[in-house]
């Protein structure tokens, strides 16, 4: 009897243990399922905020385009002469003439582009020139089979114009919007005259506009880095972008050239025949006078470039899609720069 009683006790104890383990397993399974649901919802929430805030662009190739072949290295008909169109056109007319895809994106038909291009145009009070530029630039880039978005960084009215800061603000907005592989900094008054002037990034930053009509189709001086530049996001971050301290005309492009050399890169240049640009004639903006302190700032470029530039940008940027372009309204934190800029 004792042996049988012991057997019963052991059997009861074993059954009890199994029941407890089963109950704990059910509870843990339910808790794990809830955790997975929470994690899943959290990820969806972050993705939704990202795509909504940045006008529904994506950092991945659209599913429907993954099956497309890659575009050829040399686009077809690329050697056809460029026909400049200097007639005035409004932004509304541009939207109808060149309809973009969702997110103000242009993509080639029938193939996947080899480049994801962000064109950044520093801008203020030049609507007529902007229309003329875009009416030439959009078909120019479509012919090159580029996958591109154009960002116009407009400084809000009042105050002296700051080209370098507008470039930094435009690049910051572009890099938040999508996974661009190349950035082209583009002046509003320069229109490419040659179709084989490829808007592509290289191992070093590339000076595109080496032969502007403004300077008789030659460089005004050997180290000149003004006008249009192609630069990769990693290169832009490596030099800490442009300086934010050049208020008024001149100096920020020379400062940029110093930054490129200081980090061990070289500013490559288009051959003159390839880098020809028509320059729209205009008078200088009254709120863009020559910077009297540019020489002083230029001498301190190397010393401050690690901490002053893209990483120290202070501004408020409002983003809006306008069909053919993405418009950025950039308000400079003037108080910050009044207290920060040292001459």
* 257-284 tens-digit pLDDT: 999 999 999 999 999 999 999 999 877 6
- Find the helix or strand (DSSP H, E) in which 317 lies: strand 315-321
Least confident interval from 64-68, 120-124, 125-129: 64-68
* The pLDDT of residue 14: 55
137: left (phi over 0), alpha (psi -120 to 50) or beta: alpha
* 215-239 tens-digit pLDDT: 999 999 999 999 999 999 999 999 9
Mean pLDDT, all residues of the chain: 83
Q: What percent of the chain has a predicted confidence (pLDDT) above 90?
A: 63
Q: Is the pLDDT of residue 176 over 90?
A: yes
Count of other CB atoms within 10 angstroms of residue 243: 28
CA distances in angstroms from 98 to 71, 101, 127, 141, 304, listed in the order given: 21, 10, 17, 12, 43
User: Do the beta carbons of residue 332 and residue 341 sit within 8 Å?
Assistant: no
CA distance 189 to 278: 8
pLDDT band at 343 (very low <50, low <70, confident <90, very high): confident
* The pLDDT of residue 79: 84
- Give, in degrees to the nearest 5, the angle at Cα 309 between 305 and 311: 110
pLDDT band at 65 (very low <50, low <70, confident <90, very high): low
């Amino acid at each position: 009897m004792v042996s049988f009683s012991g057997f019963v006790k052991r059997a009861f104890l074993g059954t009890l243990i199994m029941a407890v383990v089963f109950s704990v397993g059910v509870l843990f399974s339910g808790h794990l399922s809830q955790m997975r649901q929470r994690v899943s919802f959290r990820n969806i929430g972050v993705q939704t905020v990202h795509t909504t805030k940045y006008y529904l662009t994506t950092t991945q190739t659209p599913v429907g385009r993954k099956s497309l072949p890659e575009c050829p290295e040399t686009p077809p008909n690329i050697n056809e002469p460029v026909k400049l169109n200097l007639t005035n056109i409004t932004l509304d007319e541009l939207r109808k003439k060149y309809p973009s895809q969702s997110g103000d994106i242009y993509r080639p038909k029938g193939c996947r582009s080899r480049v994801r291009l962000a064109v950044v145009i520093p801008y203020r009070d030049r609507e007529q020139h902007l229309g003329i530029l875009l009416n030439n630039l959009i078909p120019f880039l479509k012919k090159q089979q580029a996958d591109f978005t154009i960002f116009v960084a407009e400084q809000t009215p009042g105050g002296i114009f700051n080209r370098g800061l507008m470039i930094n603000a435009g690049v910051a907005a572009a890099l938040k919007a999508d996974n661009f592989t190349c950035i082209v900094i583009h002046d509003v008054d320069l229109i490419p005259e040659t179709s084989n002037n490829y808007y592509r990034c290289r191992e070093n930053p590339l000076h595109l506009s080496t032969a502007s009509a403004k300077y008789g189709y030659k460089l005004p001086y050997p180290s000149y880095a003004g006008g249009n530049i192609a630069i990769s996001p990693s290169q832009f971050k490596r030099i800490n972008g442009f300086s934010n301290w050049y208020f008024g005309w001149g100096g920020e492009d020379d400062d940029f050239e110093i930054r490129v050399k200081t980090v061990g890169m070289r500013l490559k240049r288009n051959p003159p025949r390839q880098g020809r640009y028509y320059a729209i004639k205009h008078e200088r903006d009254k709120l863009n006078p020559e910077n009297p302190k540019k020489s002083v700032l230029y001498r301190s470029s190397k010393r401050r470039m690690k901490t002053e530039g893209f990483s120290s940008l202070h501004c408020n940027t409002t983003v809006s899609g306008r069909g053919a372009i993405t418009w950025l309204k950039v308000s400079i934190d003037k108080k910050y720069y009044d207290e920060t800029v040292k001459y």
